[in-house]
A and B are shown apart, each in its own frame.
Chain A
């Protein structure tokens, strides 16, 4: 098929290149929706400093638990703090944590998984440790770790990364196991490439796609889990606004002032849905078997 299209383009008009990965991604409907949802939230978070009408940390006891109105679009909490401003800054913290966890797990889990998949001797020991970690429910493990480490943004990233590393490692290992059997890997050895070189230059780049997709889910899971940790009081300490923290603040007034939890809740839903949709799009765009279908 590739040969046929090549000869046609050679014979006919100027050569047309097959659409690149980015073009394929942007043509994917669910990726576009995901990007829109996540992009809106992320943009709002980035521009929080300019968008937020009030100081997210300043208490004002004359404006306690105000319902949404012209001044306070999303209402205020029990300390009179503007929910909109807190949510905007909360997005910053939550997305930092999500990104941090996605990054750390990709690095650590990716390295562990690649070694387990590539080096027979390490496979057993490494993956048994991962299995042991995975035997705990991830959130429970993260709660225990976060409680032990103490409440701070960095510790939340650390705790969640440890909890989610096994998933990343498994995905990476599976990819490496498949790719290392491809003939071009033998070909690389046949030209004298060392094992390290074979792994880094030939196996990993071809085994990355599932990991990239997986990390969008890990990102979403981390944002959710951060909300849970903050809700339980082991997240970043107050008065730092985090999405989960604001929801947790609203818990005691859910009857009288449901708006406190509403805005951050909707934002979390948008982030998670957006990331999941983007993950679906990425999966389709990176899967070589579906590549032609998307074209």
Chain B
């Protein structure tokens, strides 16, 4: 069953459109990866879903249907009831995402008391349980500690505990492992995978790390310059990527085996939203670009035997 459906979503800051015509679906219990470079609009898409766009940002077009309701038209008070209870989000910076003047336990208890109406005692007990759930050792002690007394990995686990406190149906994880080192990263991913199975919640994982995405996602959306350029099952997308951008991203993953050479990189940078090219937005950096690419924005279409991709030369290139 479809839990979340994003249709033709556009987000703009004044005249500048940072997200354009983005569509995807997320089924109950599914893990969807959203990948792209910095500035591709993936975080703005997530914040639009939470109704937490920064000042000046607006959803200018499209619908976000969550549990059957279009949440872009929901009053703020209703959104507050959803956030933290039905949909939760964990952020990139575990170091700064916890309130330094409140203990970890108080912060977990806050969500529980706010949404579930538990009393102080019950919330505290539940907080200890949640810390155990996210595999924090000696939870009884940690629950009374302040964020600065925890390591980076533990803080991210505490963030996950806060996000999971009310058993949300949707967890949005915005680069949850980016600020952590490799071993801690693996631990957090394992935890997310396990928790998803336990609670059957859907996860929207935003990352620029294809390795992370390939590990736990069932389907993947590749974004570039505010648009979806390719989407499909993880198996197909990583096995037979169609769009030149996806292929370039995959080629840029450093490999352990084989001769050591310079790291392959995609020439150029993501254009700024104010200066998006009129045609295919990847065309200026694309090695396969032809004049027709710059004429019009290519629509997302199903490529036989492959994924959905927005490239006019998709068939010739695969």
Find A184's partner among B80, B99, B111 (CB 8 Å cutoff).
B99
29 A-B residue pairs with Cβ-Cβ distance under 8 Å, sorted by A, are A2-B149, A2-B150, A3-B150, A6-B149, A7-B151, A184-B96, A184-B99, A184-B100, A187-B162, A189-B83, A190-B50, A190-B83, A190-B84, A190-B91, A190-B163, A191-B163, A191-B165, A192-B79, A192-B83, A192-B85, A192-B115, A193-B110, A193-B114, A194-B80, A197-B114, A201-B102, A201-B110, A205-B99, A206-B100
Find A183's partner among B91, B101, B114 (CB 8 Å cutoff).
B91
User: Other CB < 8 Å A-B pairs besides A187-B97, A190-B91, 17 of them?
Assistant: A2-B150, A182-B96, A183-B91, A183-B92, A183-B97, A184-B96, A186-B97, A189-B52, A190-B84, A191-B88, A191-B114, A191-B163, A192-B84, A194-B77, A201-B110, A205-B102, A288-B100
Residues of chain A within 8 A (CB-CB) of B98 are: 184, 187
Flag whether A188 is at the interface (Cβ < 8 A). yes
Contact B151 A3 (CB under 8 A): yes
Report if A6-B99 is in contact (Cβ < 8 Å); known contacts: A191-B83, A192-B81: no
Instruction: Scan residues 241-272 of chain B and give those whose CB is less than 8 A from a CB of chain A.
Output: none
Q: Which residue of A lies closest to B148 (CB)?
A: A2
Q: Which residue of A lies closest to B138 (CB)?
A: A10
A163-200 to B contact mask, C-beta < 8 Å, 1/0 = 00000000000000000001110111111111001000
Instruction: Scan residues 111-157 of chain B and give those whose CB is less than 8 A from a CB of chain A.
Output: 111, 114-115, 148-152
A18 CA to B159 CA in the complex, in Å? 23
On B, residues with C-beta under 8 Å from A are 50, 52, 55, 77, 79-85, 88-89, 91-93, 96-102, 110-111, 114-115, 148-152, 159, 162-163, 165
Q: How far is the CB of B239 from chain A (nearest CB, A)?
A: 35
Q: How far is the CB of B152 from chain A (nearest CB, A)?
A: 7
Which are the 3 A-B pairs with shortest beta-carbon distances? A191-B84, A3-B151, A192-B84
Q: How far is the CB of B100 from chain A (nearest CB, A)?
A: 7
A86 CA to B162 CA in the complex, in Å? 60
A223 CA to B92 CA in the complex, in Å? 49
A184 CA to B96 CA in the complex, in Å? 6
Instruction: Scan residues 1-34 of chain A and give those whose CB is less than 8 A from a CB of chain B.
Output: 2-3, 6-7, 18
A187 CA to B99 CA in the complex, in Å? 9
Residues of chain B within 8 A (CB-CB) of A191 are: 83-84, 88, 110-111, 114, 162-163, 165
Flag whether A120 is at the interface (Cβ < 8 A). yes
Q: How far is the CB of B85 from chain A (nearest CB, A)?
A: 6
Residues of chain B within 8 A (CB-CB) of A2 are: 148-151
A138 CA to B188 CA in the complex, in Å? 56
Instruction: Scan residues 182-233 of chain A and give those whose CB is less than 8 A from a CB of chain B.
Output: 182-184, 186-194, 197, 201-202, 205-206
Contact A184 B150 (CB under 8 A): no
Contact B148 A190 (CB under 8 A): no
Q: Which residue of B lies closest to A203 (CB)?
A: B99
Report if A6-B150 is in contact (Cβ < 8 Å); known contacts: A187-B97, A191-B162, A192-B85: yes
Residues of chain B within 8 A (CB-CB) of A202 are: 99
A249 CA to B163 CA in the complex, in Å? 67
A201 CA to B114 CA in the complex, in Å? 13
Contact A192 B114 (CB under 8 A): yes
Report if A187-B91 is in contact (Cβ < 8 Å); known contacts: A2-B149, A202-B99, A206-B99: yes
Contact B93 A183 (CB under 8 A): yes
Q: How far is the CB of B102 from chain A (nearest CB, A)?
A: 8
